[in-house]
Amino acid sequence: MNEGRGNQMTREKRLIPYKVLEVMETVKEKIPEGVELVKAPAIWEKSNYGEGVVVAVIDTGIDKGHPDLKERIIGGKDFTNTGDFQDDNGHGTHVSGTIVAAVNNAGVVGVAPKASILALKALNGQGQGDIDWINGALEYAINWRGPNEEKVSVISLSLGGPPDEAEHKLIQKALQNDILVVCAAGNSGDGRHETDELDYPGAYPEVVEVGAVDLSRNLADFSNTNDEIDLVAPGVDILSTYPGNKYARLSGTSMATPHVSGAAALLKVIAEKEFDRNLTEAELYAQLVKSTEDLGISKKAQGNGLLNLTIAEQRVEKSIKITIESENLQLPSKSVVMEY
């Protein structure tokens, strides 16, 4: 990097480097392996497929005409001065498909196929964006209201760069507005859990920082490790939508992040039915943490564990209540819940 351009470069965010493994013209409708791995289909009915939840994706835009996406776009805005939020890179379309690709007898299906996307284009065709574009998109997502007064519940960010004070304050403002902010950890991992790799906004303590595993549940070598990792999700060989009505397999923590953003939409619907009120950001985060499975590796690598949308229910089913009494000692009876 040219030292003389230092100030300019700190103004820039970029797509976290990712790999395009394969691009396909068509696929028979299928639930991608990553969506299956996090057990999303098992809770679709209970969560009404995420209907009514708006996820703002701050990325390279979206393929507005893609058959798997066009009915799921509630709005969009360009911040890159191209005048259009149409995706001219591919990354934003792929991320969005993992969150909301519709059930329509063709293509792929997302984690929350009835949720809605607010597509905010803050990175250009080269996957780069001025920090002002990112911050403008964050501000817009916080204040956005839909045609029926909908609000954004989740912001999904699969991008990175150096820390920025204004960006950090906007993320804190999002949390104050009960918006969960989900971010990619980054792909600078060196395969050693004891060393920290930091990319922002992922490494801010307020966000949900997502690392990547492969489809065999092993940590991806490229996945950043640090003390702020919250959980991991599938991020290797991920099938999703791609511009031009196509499909592609990509790898990166960018691909893991939308699995978590979509899962948050499903969990929000379920929990708000149970509580009969809106969830706070902290409560939605707690629902996510409850939906993780320990992989038995370093917390710096996996955080709370692998996203698993049926694990919380399994824990309840695997617990028994035992009442302990002692007549001789005349002690009050005590009940304990044991997991097995």
Angle value at C-alpha 219, between 126 and 128, nearest 5 degrees: 10
Give the pair of three-digit tokens for residue 153.
Answer: 């519940």
Question: Is the distance from CB of 191 to CB of 213 less than 8 angstroms?
Answer: no
Active site residue 335: no
**Catalytic residue among 47, 59, 130, 214, which?**
59
Residue 69: CA atoms inside 13 Å, Cβ hemisphere, count? 31
Active site residue 164: no
Other beta carbons within 10 angstroms of residue 62's beta carbon come to 30
**Catalytic residue among 78, 87, 91, 156, which?**
91
All residues at 6 or more sequence positions from 37 whose CB lies less than 8 Å from its CB, including other chains: 215, 217, 234
**Catalytic residue among 47, 153, 158, 254, which?**
254
Residue 297: CA atoms inside 13 Å, Cβ hemisphere, count? 22
Q: Measured between alpha carbons, how far is residue 252 from residues 195, 244, 327 in Å?
A: 19, 22, 60
Active site residue 259: no
Which residues belong to the active site? 59, 91, 254
